[in-house]
Amino acid sequence: MRGDGVGHGSSFGPVSYAPIDLLLSGLVGTGMYLVIVVGTDGLLRLLAGGILLWILPGYVTLAALFPGRGIETRSRSSEQRSGISLRQRGVLTLGVSLFVLVLIGLVIGTVASAITAGLVSGAVLVYVLAVGGIAAIRRYRMPAGYRVSLPVESWYDEVVTAFTRGSVADRALTVGVVCSVLLTVGMFGFAMSAGPAGQSYTDFYVVTPDGDGEYTSAGYPENLTVGQEATLAWGVHNAESEPMDYTVVVVLERVVDADGEYRVIESEELDRTSIRVADGEETLRNHTVAPSMVGEDLRLGYYLYRGDAPDRPRPDTAYRHLHVWTTVTPSA
């Protein structure tokens, strides 16, 4: 049988009613997610992003909302259709996927500190599996003769007809439409799976412990004596869309104002730490400073480098840099 591809209960066995399309959606979605998170580049990543983000969410959503095939019923006064046809599902899939992605993005933006390709892909996969399960249950509860099935043979005949029959102009138009759809899906998939362009960054900050296990952006040591210890903490949040190696160097600097710019004339290194931070993760490290340099308005500088740091860190060579002003007096 062709058309919407639904058989009647007397002519099909139980296997025909298995939601093969929904099972494939879950398996394909899982595979596409793995392709994205392992860091694959190029056409394969683009294709995986297009399928996972722009096809599967819309398909399983429509399957859950409309578990039955489109059926035409005629009466003396009207003609009605219940459900939606397979062609309508295909047309609506991209638009519904876009709507679902917007909702998922809003949720992630509310609960997460950064939106990454892995986080978005994982959330979409969970949605596809959960809604696909709901769709399978709803479809199973329908009468056997009204369940959706995929008319692969009919689709094949239609595709062959579209490309081999009709005028040259009609066939050229069909090819153009198909290429445009594939290009659009691919571009959107690449954009989503690769992460927002220009949005890769590292957040670097300095805070102080408040004594109760919490941290605050206040209470920095404004006055110290030589050898007096002060505890601070620096934090690194990686939103570079890939794991990163960082080096953080803490120095106490004596600076002079030279035509509106500060120039370092003496420095004392207090701490140097190398760390590796996974994409989307955050590291917070306590450290203790005990200066030996004496002076007013000394600069406690924090320099963040991607990879190794030079022996003498400077603001113009650091990836990120922060400073805290303090005065150090001789000990009594």
What residue spans define the domains of the chain?
Answer: 14-194, 201-329
Question: Distance (Å, rounded) from C-alpha 329 to C-alpha 332?
Answer: 9
Q: Which CATH number applies to 201-329? A: 2.60.40.10
Torsion of CA 306, 307, 311, 314, to 10 degrees: -10
Closest to 108 (Cα-Cα) out of 168, 180, 196, 25:
196
Structure tokens given for 263 = 């120039």
| Cβ-count burial 195-231 (b if 16+ within 10 Å, e if not) | beeeebebebbbbbeeeeeebeeeeebeebeeeeebe
User: Over its length of 332 residues, how does the chain's per-residue pLDDT go in tens digits?
Assistant: 444 444 443 333 444 456 888 999 999 999 999 888 876 666 777 888 888 998 999 999 999 998 877 554 444 444 444 467 767 777 788 889 999 999 998 888 888 766 777 888 999 999 999 999 999 999 888 887 777 766 655 656 666 676 677 677 766 766 776 676 666 655 655 555 454 444 578 999 999 998 777 888 888 999 999 989 999 999 999 988 889 999 999 999 999 988 778 888 999 999 999 999 998 899 999 999 999 999 999 999 999 999 999 999 999 999 999 999 999 999 87
**Rounded to two decimals, what is the model's pTM?**
0.48
Phi, psi of 167 (to 5 degrees): -70, 165
